[in-house]
Amino acid sequence: MYSRDCFCDSIGYKAYRVDTISSTNTYFKENYEKYDDKSILIAKNQTSGRGRFNRVWESDDDICFSILYKKKNYNNIIIPLAITMVLNKLNISAGIKWPNDIYLNNKKLAGILIEDIYSSKFCASVVGIGINMTDKKEFDGIGLSKYTNLSKDQLIFMILEYIDKLSTVSIDILIDIYRHYNIIMNRKITYKNNTYLACDVTKDGYLVLRNSKDTITVTSDEITIHSQF
Ligand code: BTN
């Protein structure tokens, strides 16, 4: 077990800290039985941070943590919404690039990796959150530190509070708010070499794409936003 920190005990989360780890998501996936529901592991640095589609996630003094949930929830909707709503409350006009990237000024600010653990039935969900504090030139990422004076712990605390607030909201309303903050709605996008208009997000969080030939539903995939409308 890593060192315990009480900063979010008041809202029912148990925080643990580590300086360097391979990946906070991997750690919780391998050790979820030893930790309670709503445990969080915060790392200063990861040596093998993971992103979606097996990509590498670099974090160097950025915000980097995973949350362990032992109950099923609409995390694919709630987590990007919570981060985006916290930022907007701080007057930082971030939005969601479907399904769960957080963008600011057309650049990636944060990424989310949600990994569910099953062994015949649902056991746990590991929600990994990486938020850039500094710009990342390698992949055109933007950093948060120039937009806020809040500490990383203050930001994490606010995100956890918003996750819990949103967990009490019905899925229909969550999807409406998610659509509102989604930066790709009504924009031209490329999916599998074809151009579509992103026209809706379904109640399951799937993206509906339309062009003159087809209307298709995308469950979880990579899309490219056109810079021009
Ligand atoms: C993505 O945009 O592809 C998702 C990035 C998720 C990165 C976070 S950092 C904390 C947690 N641990 C990991 O190895 N990945 C997630």
pLDDT tens by residue, the chain, 229 residues: 799 999 999 999 999 999 999 999 999 999 999 999 999 999 999 999 999 999 999 888 899 999 999 999 999 999 999 999 999 999 999 999 999 999 999 999 999 999 999 999 999 999 999 999 999 988 889 999 999 999 999 999 999 999 999 999 999 999 999 999 999 999 999 999 999 999 999 988 899 999 999 999 999 777 888 764 3
Residue 203, pLDDT score: 85
Structure tokens at 20: 């360097």
**Which residues are paired to 182 by β-bridges?**
96
Residue 229, pLDDT score: 37
Bond prior to 80 in cis (omega within 30° of 0): no
Q: Which amino acid is at 107?
A: K
Distance 110 CA to ligand 1 centre (A): 9
Q: Is residue 166 within 6 Å of ligand 1 at its C-beta?
A: no
191 close to 209: Cβ distance less than 8 angstroms? yes
Dist. CA 38–CA 35, nearest whole Å: 9
* Selection from 108, 112, 96 nearest residue 182 by Cα: 96
Chain mean position to CA 196: 25
| Atom of ligand 1 lying closest to residue 130 CA | 9
State the pTM of this model. Answer: 0.95
Residue 227, pLDDT score: 63
| Atom of ligand 1 lying closest to residue 51 CA | 3
Which residue out of 17, 63, 113, 220 has the highest number of ligand 1 atoms within 8 Å of its CB and is therefore the one to mutate? Answer: 113
* Selection from 58, 83, 64, 84 nearest residue 137 by Cα: 58
Nearest-5° Cα angle at 24, 22 to 30: 90
